[in-house]
Structure 1
Amino acid sequence: MEDSNGDLEKNIGSSLKALRIARAMTLDQLASASGVSRAMISKIERGEASPTAVLLARLLTPLDETLSGFFSNTNETLRPLSRRSEQPVWRDPETGYVRRAVSPRGHPINVDLVEVDLPAGARVALPPMQFNPPQMQYVWLLEGALSMECDGASHDLNIGDCLFMGLESGITFHNRSSQPCRYAVVLKKG
C-alpha cells in the first residue's frame, strides 16, 4: 500500500470497502458500530479522504480486523521471504508515523511483525479494540525513546526494552524526545 503512485487513498478505500462487504456490513452499520460518520466512511472508500491511524483503527475494530491484518495483502502467493522493497508501507497523514508490514504474507501463523518509525514529538492514541478471541502484542524498542500508556499504566521504554499488552484497553504511543524512534510490533492474532 505504499504511496509511490499517489494511489494510497484509493487502495485504502477499496480495501476498506471490500472488507466491509465481506463482513456483510452496510455503511450505516459500520458508522453506528465505529462512531465514524457515514459520510466520512464513504469519502474514505472512494479515495477522497485519507484516514488517520486512530480513525482507521476505529473503522477496523467492528470489522474484526487489526491495522496489521488490514495492511497485509492476504491474497498474495505464499512466499517464505518478505523483501524490504516489497513490504507494504503506510504513513499516518496526521502524525507522520510510518508503518511497515514486515511479515511474509499468506502463512497460516497467527503472528504479524510490523516496523514503526515514530517522528519526534509524535503521539498516537489508539482506541480500545475488542476482538474475539482477544489479541495481544509485544512492542520492542529498537532506536530512540518511547513512552506508552496501556492497561492503565505508563511505561517509558529505552532501546532494547520490550513491553507486552492486550489491545482491549487502548494504547498510546508517544515519542517525547527530539529524535525519531523505531520499534517493532509483534502482534498475536487469535
Structure 2
Amino acid sequence: MREVEERLAARLAELRTERGWSLDDLARRADISRSTLSRLERAEISPTAALLGRLCAVYERTMSRLLAEVESEPPQVVRAAAQLVWRDEASGFERRSVSPPHAGLRGELVEARLRPGADIAYDTPPVPGLEQHIWVLEGAVEIAANGHTHEVTAGDCLRFRLWGPSRFRCPGPDPVRYALLIVLP
C-alpha cells in the first residue's frame, strides 16, 4: 500500500509540473491548502476520497485513470489478488480497480464499498459528462447526482451522466458493495 501511495504522490506532482503550476496555483484551482498539497506530493499524508476527487476534477481525470497511471504497463488480465485497492479509512470508502488499467480506454470497472454511515461528496465530476452505471451487489446506497437523489438497493442499477456535484451515502445498517462502470464521454 505504501508503494502505491508514493507513486500516487509522485504522479500528482508530475501532473502539476506538466501544467507549469505552482503549489499556490493548484491550491487556488482545487480549493485545497498549499500545505496539504505539498504534504500530499511528498507522500507524507494520504488523500481522502473527497480530496482526490477535487484533484481529479482539476486534472480532468477519473480516479480510476489517475490510479491506473501509477501502475506499471497494463496487463490484459488482472487477477483478483493483483487488483489495486485504495482505501480512505476516514470516510469508510474502499475502491478496487477491477478492469485492467489503461489510460487510453474509455471504460473502467470498479468495485466499491462504503461502510454504514459513510457519506462522500464530490464538488465536481472529474470529467464533465462522465457516464456512470452503478450496480448494487449488496446493501443499499443513496446517490445524489444532477439534482436528483436515488436510493439504490441490491440488484438495482442506476445510470447517469454526471455534470455537477455528486454524493454517495450508505444509510446502513449494513455496508454497501457495488460495481461501478465508468465511461468517458
Tell me whether 1:102 sits opposite 2:98 in the alignment.
Answer: yes
**Which residue identity lines up with residue 179 of structure 2 in the other structure?**
A
Tell me whether 1:37 sits opposite 2:42 in the alignment.
Answer: no
Q: Identify which range, 9-18 or 46-55, moves more after superposition.
A: 9-18
**Which residue in the other structure is 2:111 paired with?**
115
1: CA distance, partners of 2:7 / 2:103: 22
Give 2:167's match in structure 1, choosing from 167, 172, 176: 172
Give 2:54's match in structure 1, choosing from 55, 58, 67: 58
- Structure 1 residue 96, shift from structure 2 partner: 2.2
Call closer, same or farther: CA 1:55–1:140 in 2, change over 3 Å.
same
**Which residue identity lines up with residue 84 of structure 1 in the other structure?**
A
Give 2:158's match in structure 1, choosing from 159, 163, 167: 163
Percent sequence identity over matched residues? 34
CA contact (8 A) 2:54 2:126 kept: no
**Which residue identity lines up with residue 11 of structure 1 in the other structure?**
R
**Which residue in the other structure is 2:84 paired with?**
88
- Secondary structure (helix, strand or coil) at the match of 2:38 reads helix
Q: Identify which range, 71-80 or 23-32, moves more after superposition.
A: 71-80
Runs (5+) with no aligned partner, structure 1: none
Q: Deviations over 1:26-80 (max 9, x none)?
A: 3222111111111110010011122110011112211111111111147633422
- Structure 1 residue 10, shift from structure 2 partner: 2.4
Q: Per residue, is there more strand in 1 or in 2?
A: 2
**Which residue in the other structure is 1:148 paired with?**
143
Call closer, same or farther: CA 1:96–1:187 in 2, change over 3 Å.
same
**Which residue identity lines up with residue 150 of structure 2 in the other structure?**
H
Q: TM-score, normalised by structure 2?
A: 0.91
Number of matched residues? 185
Q: Identify which range, 107-116 or 123-132, moves more after superposition.
A: 123-132
2: CA distance, partners of 1:56 / 1:25: 18
Call closer, same or farther: CA 1:164–1:141 in 2, change over 3 Å.
same
- Secondary structure (helix, strand or coil) at the match of 1:72 reads helix
Q: TM-score, normalised by structure 1?
A: 0.88
